[in-house]
Amino acid sequence: MAGSTIGRLLTLTTFGESHGKAIGAVLDGFPAGMALSEEDIQPYLDRRRPNASALSTSRKESDRVELLSGVFEGRTTGTPIAMLLRNEDAHSSDYDALKDLYRPGHADMTYDAKYGFRDHRGGGRSSGRETAARVMGGAVCAKLLKELGITVQAKALTVGTPAEGDSAGGVIEVVMKGVPAGVGDPVFDKLDARLASALMSIGAVKAVEVGAGVSASSMRGSEMNDAFTAEDGQIKTKTNHAGGILGGISNGMPVVLRCHVKPTPSISLPQESVNRRGGSVTIEIGGRHDAVIVPRAVVVAECMCAFTLLDLMLSGMGARMEDVKKRYSL
């Protein structure tokens, strides 16, 4: 039942509800000796913050990260890095009217089905606010990757245009450059399987593609296959339909994924629904909501990929006998 920890050697545990006291993340298994301060993490949170555009919530989330542990004299110590965000400016009373109602597209009904009741304020644990914890963890991982020459960059490929009172979705692409060949494990812990899980675990994501993705199903083998070539002894592929992954293991080309984000379920148009006793209701959702979540989700997707890649890289350090010998032999 414990679904709030992800990773194997490197683990990210998150906690907190939208209108609770705080949101937090614990990143454990991170290598010792990397320079780290709150200034490395804050810019990622800032990228996730709602902006002044018409598309975003007006909730004021100042969101100053506080580093609680795992760093000593400016460097990571190898012990758990705990990061905290206090919740503030939470208008819980906005949600009183929705307490017994099931908002379409939200997790109200399913949390009740699973747990018998729920923290209804702002979506509780199922709120998009939970992703702030992912961003804190991912920001730390992205810094390490950057020191290895690996960049993880996401952007919105498409952003829908919401009508009046309605909402829209969009598509986010993540590109990881500089990933060495050989990362990922066979069978169930394939790099693409782990990345798909990491991205699909973001609330609004309904599809994940790797490389050619959906279009692969209508291609011929002769089109899909990326021809190998060698430049200066470095093996590359001419095209990258594989998205940088073959057999679940990176091949040295950019790792490319796309995720499809559904429109924000909170809309102010009237919607047909039920209350928890099964009675019919019509609801119009007020409060502060993003009409399009996509721009804010970009950094979340980036962070989930950075975390996942780093976990698999750390897990793979002992894949060869020669590396184990190099590390441990006298």
180 to 209, contacts with a copy of itself by CB under 8 A? 180-190, 192-194, 196-201, 203, 206-209
Q: Which of residues 237-266 bind a copy of itself (CB under 8 A)?
A: 237-238, 241-243, 245-252, 260-266
CB of 109 to a copy of itself, least distance (A): 6
User: Which residue's CB is nearer to a copy of itself, number 45 or number 82?
Assistant: 82
CB of 86 to a copy of itself, least distance (A): 9
Question: Inter-axis angle of helices 294-315 and 38-48, to 10 degrees?
Answer: 140
Pick from 214, 286, 272: nearest CA to 243: 214
Q: How far apart are CA 140 and CA 83, in angstroms?
A: 11
**Interface with a copy of itself, residue 122, by CB under 8 A:** no
**Interface with a copy of itself, residue 290, by CB under 8 A:** no
SS3 211: coil
User: Which residue's CB is nearer to a copy of itself, number 151 or number 225?
Assistant: 225
CB of 97 to a copy of itself, least distance (A): 16
Of the candidate spans 45-53, 57-65, 142-150, 295-303, the one that interacts with a copy of itself by CB under 8 A turns out to be 142-150
Among 88, 89, 229, 284, binds a copy of itself (CB under 8 A): 229
Q: Which of residues 19-78 bind a copy of itself (CB under 8 A)?
A: 20-24, 26, 28-29, 31-34, 66-70, 72, 75-78
CB of 136 to a copy of itself, least distance (A): 13
Q: Which residue bears the tokens 């006291």?
A: 21
Contact 186, 315 (CB under 8 A): no
Of the candidate spans 40-48, 49-57, 295-303, 311-319, the one that interacts with a copy of itself by CB under 8 A turns out to be 311-319
CB of 39 to a copy of itself, least distance (A): 16
Size of the residue set binding a copy of itself (CB under 8 A): 171
CB of 249 to a copy of itself, least distance (A): 4
CB of 90 to a copy of itself, least distance (A): 13
Give the side-chain half-sphere CA count within 13 A for 114. 9
Q: Which of residues 150-169 bind a copy of itself (CB under 8 A)?
A: 158, 160, 162-163, 166-169
Q: How far apart are CA 258 and CA 300, in angstroms?
A: 13
Pick from 215, 168, 220, 176: nearest CA to 199: 176
User: Which residue's CB is nearer to a copy of itself, number 45 or number 84?
Assistant: 84
CB of 64 to a copy of itself, least distance (A): 14
Residue 239 CB coordination number (10 Å)? 13
Burial class (CB in 10 A: 0-12, 13-18, 19+), 287: middle
CB of 147 to a copy of itself, least distance (A): 7
**Interface with a copy of itself, residue 97, by CB under 8 A:** no
**What residues contact residue 56 under an 8 Å CB cut-off, 6+ apart?**
50, 290, 291, 295, 296
Contact 177, 264 (CB under 8 A): no
User: Which residue's CB is nearer to a copy of itself, number 24 or number 50?
Assistant: 24
Long-range CB contacts for residues 126-129, cutoff 8 Å, separation at least 24? 126/203, 127/17, 127/18, 128/203, 128/204, 128/290, 128/293, 128/296, 129/16, 129/17, 129/18, 129/23, 129/61, 129/87
User: Which residue's CB is nearer to a copy of itself, number 40 or number 109?
Assistant: 109
Pick from 163, 156, 129: nearest CA to 54: 163
Pick from 239, 259, 237, 258: nearest CA to 181: 237
**Interface with a copy of itself, residue 128, by CB under 8 A:** no
